[in-house]
Structure 1
Amino acid sequence: MERPSLEFNLPDTHEEGKLYVVDSLNNLNKLNVCPAESQHSLGMYDSMAGSNAGNQRLFFVTFVLTLTVSLALVSFVIFLIFQTRNEVDQISSRLLSEKKNIEELKKLNNIILKYLKNEQSGIVLNKDKN
């Protein structure tokens, strides 16, 4: 867009005429450079720029909130993982100790069964002798 030159060769007229011509040219330049419709569109542009900045601010706030909530959720999941791991470790150690107890009880049961068999066979032998 070319700007019209503000320098004009004015014919020799009286000072009042010069001022009138310059004033008219200024008015004409204002109409050409900034017509009323463009001033209205400039106002819309300014309001759009303001709303765009507001939208960017809203987007940024939403983004930060989303990151914060995501971080909180991830932290909670990590906490749950550690809690679950601790619980599983406790249950595993209990199961191992119970397994050892069961093995000991099986050994005792076998010893008792052997003893009872021996006692029973001894009773049977005693009955045979009578």
Structure 2
Amino acid sequence: MCYDVSKLREKKKGAMMWVLGFILFMIFFYSNNSKKIKKLENKIKKLERKEKGNAEMSRLFQEMIGKEPIITGVYIGPDNWEVVDVDEEWVKLRRVDNTGKEKFKLQRIEDIQTVEFDGE
């Protein structure tokens, strides 16, 4: 049996290159996925904090039903609005304008920026 030693060496080098390439690919793939996983974990934490804040705001608005705090939001200016009803995401507000006409507004709790209340 006669083997060509140079061909055997080339096969071993080729196999080693494939193994090395596969290992590098796996390292790159894993590092790329770990970055994505960290980003998703950060987004989840951010959403959980936001949801916890919304629940706290919802509880505070529950205590203000029937009262008229000054509410400033993304889409409303600072006006006296009576809090009519509240759930986890929305607050129903009522205001009487100068002509005596009632206006109702549904506002997302997350869009409310400030609430001023004098405690009466």
TM-score scaled by length of structure 1 = 0.48
Task: Say whether residues 1:86 and 2:42 are aligned partners.
Answer: yes
Deviation string 1:88-109 (CA, Å, 9 cap, x unpaired) is: 1110110011111111111111
Which structure is higher in strand share? 2
| Regions of 4+ moved over 2 Å | 110-113
Which structure is higher in helix share? 1
**Aligned AA (1:67):** I
Specify which of 58, 65, 68 is matched with residue 21 of structure 2. Answer: 65
Distance in 2, matches of 1:104 and 1:61, equals 65
Equivalent residue of 2:64, what SS? helix
Alignment of 1:1-80 (within 5 A): 42=2, 45-46=3-4, 49-80=5-36
Give how far 1:53 is off. Answer: 0.9
Give how far 1:65 is off. Answer: 0.5
**Aligned AA (2:24):** T
Residue aligning to 2:113: none
TM-score scaled by length of structure 2 = 0.52
Distance in 2, matches of 1:100 and 1:67, equals 49
Distance in 1, matches of 2:12 and 2:33, equals 31
RMSD: 1.8
Residue aligning to 1:97: 53
Task: Say whether residues 1:107 and 2:63 are aligned partners.
Answer: yes
Structure 1 unaligned blocks of 5 or more = 1-40, 114-130
Give how far 1:110 is off. Answer: 6.0
Give how far 1:52 is off. Answer: 1.4
Larger radius of gyration: 1
Residue aligning to 2:92: none
**Number of matched pairs:** 69
Distance in 1, matches of 2:66 and 2:16, equals 74
Percent identity, please: 7
